[in-house]
């Protein structure tokens, strides 16, 4: 294995300092039956901080927005839940780590009204009543409901700063609500929230702009985005670097500090004629720091291609390509997901040259926090 120096050198940006380049990727765990993180959640994140992770991004958490839920036992990010998150923050800080909550609205993934949780029969909120292109079986948000969602997200960003987090992430990827505004397949609105790719970013840009006004310039705002969607792995927001730039520039102007660029396989080039992945192109086009993510340190995707069968685990894979790209400064940070479920001390082991000591990931590991 090549030198791991590039992965473990400190990271410095205008408003975020980290001891290394290792990020814990946000992963839904469904372990908060009362929507409040308890002792087991505190211990879970503390162990990853003790294990050497520079920045932890929590599992998706729900701000106080209508129809925000779609899965059971997901933690809230408002009300009594904030007391639980303060305990998580304190534990991570005491272990030498830093942490950001991910704010998440499931949008049309909520279903068409048959999920008896949270708001009961309320249909999934979407920009144009669609969870997949052409199927109008969700709720189309009114302009007032869009503004209410903006206000709810902004309140979540303010709560993140007030609760002591080091940054906040907005989940704008994978076909959930924010991404459904980005995607032409699910956003056919003709008002200020629809139109060109840049215009379809107005909803998220307004969340960021209002959040920045509320929390000031020194609190880092991370935006996670992806080309692919759960609904369609082949979907793309932008087919060219020029179109991608037109999408990203208004978000930078609104106040994004870092982009978390989600790919199913981080090593895949984003556009023909270049080896740069999505994080590499995003950094090149915006000048902003980027986080790469996608099957780092494992040999299988979390979600397989249709027809490939149900994913059940993954063996440890080489990180040589990751180290080479970090050395070239193509991107700045690397988010490790399932490998950190299997190995809370992933960072410490890799830094010590112990890649062969890492445990493979097994699906059964999702059944408990450890």
- 176 part of the active site: yes
- The secondary structure element, H or E, covering residue 103 is strand 98-103
> How is residue 130 annotated by DSSP?
B
Residues whose CB falls within 8 Å of the CB of residue 367, separated by 6 or more in sequence, listed in order = none
- What is the Cα–Cα distance from 89 to 163, expressed in whole angstroms? 8
What are 261's strand-pairing partners?
225, 292
Q: Is the dihedral of CA 164, 165, 166, 170 positive or negative?
A: negative
114 φ/ψ angles, rounded to the nearest 5 degrees? -100, 10
The catalytic residue among 125, 176, 225, 361 is 176
SS3 readout for 293-348: ECCCCECCCCCCCCCCCCCCEECECCCHHHHHHHHCCCCCEEEECHHHHHCCCHHH
CA distance 74 to 319: 31
Give the closest residue to 47 by CA, choosing from 74, 16, 67, 24.
Answer: 24
Distance in Å from the first CA to the final CA of the chain: 28
DSSP H or E segment with residue 251: helix 241-254
Q: What is the DSSP letter of 118?
A: T
Q: So which residues are the catalytic ones?
A: 176
């Amino acid at each position: 294995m090549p030198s791991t120096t590039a992965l473990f050198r400190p990271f410095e940006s205008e408003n975020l300092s980290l001891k290394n380049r290792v990020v814990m990727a946000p992963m839904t765990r469904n372990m908060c039956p009362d929507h409040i993180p308890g002792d087991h959640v505190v211990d879970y994140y503390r162990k990853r901080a003790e294990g050497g992770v520079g920045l932890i991004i929590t599992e998706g958490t729900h701000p106080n927005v209508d129809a925000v839920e779609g899965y059971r036992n997901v933690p809230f990010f408002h009300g009594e839940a904030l007391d639980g998150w303060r305990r998580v923050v304190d534990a991570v800080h005491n272990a030498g780590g830093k942490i950001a909550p991910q704010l998440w609205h499931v949008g049309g993934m909520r279903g068409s009204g048959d999920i008896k949780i949270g708001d009961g029969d309320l249909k999934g909120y979407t920009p144009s009543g669609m969870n997949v292109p052409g199927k109008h079986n969700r709720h189309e948000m009114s302009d007032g409901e869009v503004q209410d969602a903006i206000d709810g997200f902004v309140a979540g960003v303010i709560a993140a700063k007030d609760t002591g987090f080091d940054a906040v992430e907005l989940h704008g990827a994978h076909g959930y609500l924010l991404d459904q505004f980005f995607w032409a397949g699910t956003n056919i609105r003709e008002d200020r929230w629809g139109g060109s790719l840049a215009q379809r970013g107005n909803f998220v840009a307004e969340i960021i702009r209002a959040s920045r006004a509320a929390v000031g310039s020194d609190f880092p705002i991370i935006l996670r985005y992806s080309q692919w969607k759960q609904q369609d792995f082949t979907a793309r927001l932008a087919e060219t670097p020029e179109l991608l730039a037109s999408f990203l520039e208004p978000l930078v102007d609104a106040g994004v500090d870092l982009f978390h660029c989600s790919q199913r396989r981080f090593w895949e080039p984003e556009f023909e004629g270049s080896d740069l992945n999505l994080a590499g192109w995003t950094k090149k086009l915006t000048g902003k720091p980027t986080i790469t993510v996608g099957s780092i340190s494992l040999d299988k995707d979390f979600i397989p291609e249709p027809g490939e069968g149900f994913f059940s685990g993954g063996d440890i894979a080489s990180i040589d390509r990751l180290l080479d790209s970090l050395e070239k400064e193509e991107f700045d940070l690397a988010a490790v997901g399932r490998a950190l479920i299997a190995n809370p001390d992933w960072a410490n082991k890799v830094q010590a040259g112990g890649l062969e000591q890492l445990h493979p990931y097994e699906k059964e590991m999702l059944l408990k926090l450890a």
